[in-house]
Structure 1
Amino acid sequence: MEGVLDYTLRDLLTSVPGIDQCVTEFIRVTDRLLPSTVFYRMAPELHQQGCTRSGVPVYLQLLGNHPSLMADNAAKAAELGAPGIDLNFGCPAKTVNKSRGGAVLLTEPDLLHEIVAAVRRTVPASIPVTAKMRLGYVDKALAIENAQAIEAAGASTLTIHARTKLEGYKPPAHWEWIARIREQVTLHLVANGEVWNAEDYQRCRHVSGCDDVMLGRGILSNPFLAETLSGQAAAMSHADAWQRLLPMLETYHRQVIDKVSERHVHGRIKQWLNMLQWYFPQAQTLFAEIRCERDPLVILQHIIQQQMLMA
């Protein structure tokens, strides 16, 4: 979710009921202790007791391969008020994996253990240390061993994206593998992957045996998905949901205008609209209207016009 689920969008999505917890985009740890400004930039929620304005806790997500540096940066995040530390062992991006980060570490269970253990030793016991992994890098041969290494190192929760790095985001998600892992570990598991609607959610929980599910692309394509899944709202028609979403799009775009360099503003709203097209046919129309537009204020007018048409 790098470059998409930033503070602005987290704030909007958690304004809708149903989300219990968020993680930041990953913060890359390479060769030093990062300055406080990096943590505050990636997680402005640190100024709000580590929560979004609606009170949803936001864990700081770290990505790296050096146990002591990961531990030092985790401790820094904890000092700044992070309610939890999440460790990324699932990112499939080539640039990340080439520099020995994310999913490529799933080929080294011992290193996973060292990283998690170092962070757990350094971070105060009152602050949870969690992790996210895929089922493997090229294959699933080490899936159980990796989960056991993470558990033995002291993580309290493990989120499992039910595909390997090689499988990327191609359907299906292999939720049955999460069930196999559940038979071998006792730590809290969270299922992830290919949950787009209520039917997927129920099937994922049944097959994986997990009570909790992490939403990624599904909630970006339908911001009301968690609200529906949690039973806090009845299913809405696409038209009603789109009408409810348009003011959120306007708010998001205005906030991006205020916070992001003008030359990058158009990319943010187009990126989200591109994902919204998976659920909303109306988003396809709006995306087509602004696809070649770069002026943020012209894009804003298109969003406002859409609201006027729906009024």
Structure 2
Amino acid sequence: MKHRIILAPMEGLVDAPMRDILTRIGGVDRCVSEFIRVTQGQLNIGSIRRIVPESLHGWKTATGVPVHPQLLGSDPHWLGHNAALLAELGAPAVDLNFGCPAKTVNRHRGGATLLREPDTLHQIVSAVRAALPPDVPVTAKMRLGYSDTSQTLECADALACAGAAEIAVHARTREQGYKPPADWEWLARIREAVSVPVVANGDVTDLESYRRIVEISGCEQVMIGRGLVACPDLALRIQQSALDGAGQAMSWSALQPWMIDFYGQVRERIVQDRHVPGRLKQWLVLLSGNYPEARALFDRIRRETCADVLQAILTGRVPAVG
């Protein structure tokens, strides 16, 4: 069964606590983890468990949503070796990152910079495919290119011909970053050019944009990242809309217990409490596009660095003051 709504991998944003919250709210069919960087050597199993703690629970979130680990790197041999390690640990699939636009990642020949090297894409996917058991698929995520779309179809074809079972495409180039609009027309061109499923990604922020990307791209599966973080019940509303209409968006009061839960999970994962408030502030900034209350809360706590005080404010034990 195809996973219709996929939670996108986003470094430093969609981590295990966020995956847990969004999948418990509902509507998400599959998650892809933050990338696990591969250089020259075998990954430390402890590092894998830290990035994908769901690996200790059958590679599923608490509600049973599959989590596929993602690898990032440029060395075909070591990517293949570590993909095999993930399979030994029970990973249901292995995803490859050819879309990260971060300068640091690109400077070390990872992510979107490899879209200038279609032959390397083919070598990497071929090596990973050969290293994995036949029943463990390799998938890939790409952008439309590095600086332009001159090699878009060549890159997609390289991935598909090398054995990628599915290709998720963020409909922008690396140089476009996250600047709107995403070019959904290109998704249709890629889908028509390759023989494997294409997952549409980019600028899905509400029900209307979801319907439009499906209509324009022709893709049956959609990957959503920032849109889901900013509107936590979006996937649920998409799934419900196919059955009985759009339904009502989650209220701010209904969202607050989830924020408290998220904050508690972050505190358990981050060793130094002074780094904890930043994760909540990051989420509030994204939520503020849909919830004016999120902007008001952010403004009140923006200078707060004490994790205990912030938790007291969230739980109502201490009033938020300006």
Pairwise TM-score range, normalised by the shorter structure: over 0.9
Distance (whole Å) between structure 2 residues aligned to residue 225 and residue 253 of structure 1: 21
2:275 to 254, 259, 264: 264
What is the aligned residue count? 307
**2:196 is the counterpart of 1:187:** yes
In structure 2, the residue matched to 1:128 is: 137
Distance (whole Å) between structure 2 residues aligned to residue 86 and residue 17 of structure 1: 23
Deviation at 1:258, TM superposition (A): 2.1
Unaligned runs of at least 5 residues, structure 1: none
Does the 8 A contact of 1:84 with 1:127 survive in 2?
yes
Cα deviation 1:252-304 (Å, max 9, x = unaligned): 11121222121211111111111111221110011111100011111112212
1:245 to 244, 247, 255: 255
Distance (whole Å) between structure 1 residues aligned to residue 174 and residue 246 of structure 2: 36
In structure 2, the residue matched to 1:287 is: 298
Unaligned runs of at least 5 residues, structure 2: 1-9
**2:313 is the counterpart of 1:302:** yes
In structure 2, the residue matched to 1:173 is: 182
**2:76 is the counterpart of 1:67:** yes
Distance (whole Å) between structure 2 residues aligned to residue 81 and residue 182 of structure 1: 30
Q: 1:115 to 1:291 in 2, by over 3 A?
A: same
Does the 8 A contact of 2:36 with 2:71 survive in 1?
yes
Deviation at 1:234, TM superposition (A): 4.2
Does the 8 A contact of 1:286 with 1:302 survive in 2?
no
Distance (whole Å) between structure 1 residues aligned to residue 317 and residue 256 of structure 2: 8
In structure 2, the residue matched to 1:208 is: 217
1:254 to 241, 261, 264: 264
Does the 8 A contact of 2:166 with 2:197 survive in 1?
yes
- Runs of 4+ aligned structure 1 residues displaced above 4 Å come to 306-309
Distance (whole Å) between structure 1 residues aligned to residue 180 and residue 247 of structure 2: 25
**Counterpart amino acid of residue 180 in structure 1:** R
Cα deviation 1:129-158 (Å, max 9, x = unaligned): 100000000000000000000000111110
TM-score (structure 1 length as normaliser): 0.96
* Aligned ranges 1:87-106 → 2 under 5 Å: 87-106=96-115
Q: 1:287 to 1:56 in 2, by over 3 A?
A: same
Deviation at 1:235, TM superposition (A): 3.1
Does the 8 A contact of 1:219 with 1:226 survive in 2?
yes
**Range with greater deviation from structure 2 (56-65 or 227-236):** 227-236
C-alpha RMSD of the superposition: 1.6
Aligned-pair identity in percent equals: 49
In structure 2, the residue matched to 1:235 is: 247
**Range with greater deviation from structure 2 (298-307 or 2-11):** 298-307
Does the 8 A contact of 1:243 with 1:307 survive in 2?
no
**Counterpart amino acid of residue 194 in structure 1:** D
Q: Aligned to 2:257, what secondary structure does the other structure show?
A: helix
Distance (whole Å) between structure 2 residues aligned to residue 277 and residue 301 of structure 1: 21
**Counterpart amino acid of residue 303 in structure 1:** L
Q: Aligned to 2:142, what secondary structure does the other structure show?
A: strand
Deviation at 1:79, TM superposition (A): 0.8
In structure 2, the residue matched to 1:17 is: 26
TM-score (structure 2 length as normaliser): 0.92
Does the 8 A contact of 2:146 with 2:173 survive in 1?
yes
Deviation at 1:306, TM superposition (A): 9.7
Does the 8 A contact of 1:6 with 1:42 survive in 2?
yes
**Counterpart amino acid of residue 262 in structure 2:** Y
